[in-house]
Amino acid sequence: MKRKLEIDWMELDAAFQTGSWEMQSYLDLETGEVVTVTDEVSGYLEEPPEYELPDWMQHAIEQARQVEEGYGTRYIAIPGR
């Protein structure tokens, strides 16, 4: 089944250009959004901190969790340069 996906090509290009070993970007195949996950955020998935994180960091961790759960089906990795 083909579907149209609206992608921000500048955001996708930036993800290609800025990929590094410290962060990985993924394309959400449902929304067309580029999601970037840093190593720091990934670490919180494995070992949650003992203190409360700011809302923006909690949001980033939730996005990382969604990427982890949907990798290969909803999310695909964007290769770095």
Q: Which residue has the higher pLDDT, 18 or 57?
A: 57
Statement: residue 61 has pLDDT above 90:
yes
Q: Is the pTM of this model over 0.85?
A: no
81: number of Cβ within 10 Å: 7
β-bridge partners, 76: 27
Q: Domain coordinates of the chain in residue numbers?
A: 23-78
Number of H helices, E strands in the chain: 3, 3
pLDDT in tens, 23-56: 899 999 999 999 999 999 999 988 888 889 999 9
DSSP lists the bridge partners of residue 37 as 24
Bridge partner list, 44:
none
What is the rounded CA–CA span in Å between residue 44 and residue 57?
10
Residue labelled with tokens 């909690």: 58
